[in-house]
Amino acid sequence: MLCMQENKNKSGEKTPLDELFIGRQEVDEKLLRDILIRFVRIEKESASIVPTPEYYGLKEKEKILVYLLSRKAMKIRQFIENESENPSDISRMSGVKEGTVFPAVREYLKEGILSKDENGYYIPNFAIGKVEEVLRS
């Protein structure tokens, strides 16, 4: 197993390569905002996801990604404790039929766009750029 650590030069300063390394928990909040702002708003008081008119123009599978990205934003802002969601709740909250959600999350899992934990599916931080590509196409 590789061990990665921050290298410092002799004067104790970071080296140019340090910019390449990110922590597992680091999120590009600007990218996250830039993706979501077209499709949803999040109500501060209730942490409810409010779709914009553009949300309704998305393919059903894309709505799943927008919903899960919204949960990531809410987790970052500490509106929710866990960003993962099970397929039934994804369906209920996104408006996408369960018959579409189940195969879609399995497909996205295979593609590396989603990950799964004991609570359900979520978009790993490193996959936010992939989600952007899917929503752009």
Strand pairing of 115-117 and 40-42?
unpaired
Judged by phi (left if over 0) then psi (alpha if -120 to 50, else beta), residue 73 lies in alpha
Q: Where are the domains of the chain?
A: 26-136
Query: What's residue 8's pLDDT?
Result: 53
> Which amino acid makes up residue 127?
A
For the whole model, what pTM was predicted? 0.82
Sign (positive/negative) of CA torsion 122, 78, 129, 32?
positive
Query: What's residue 49's pLDDT?
Result: 96
Q: Does domain 26-136 match CATH 1.10.10.10? A: yes
Query: What's residue 3's pLDDT?
Result: 45
Sign (positive/negative) of CA torsion 58, 64, 67, 70?
negative
- Is 73 a residue whose pLDDT tops 70? yes
Using one digit for the tens of pLDDT, what is the confidence trace for 8-38? 555 667 788 877 776 656 788 999 999 999 9
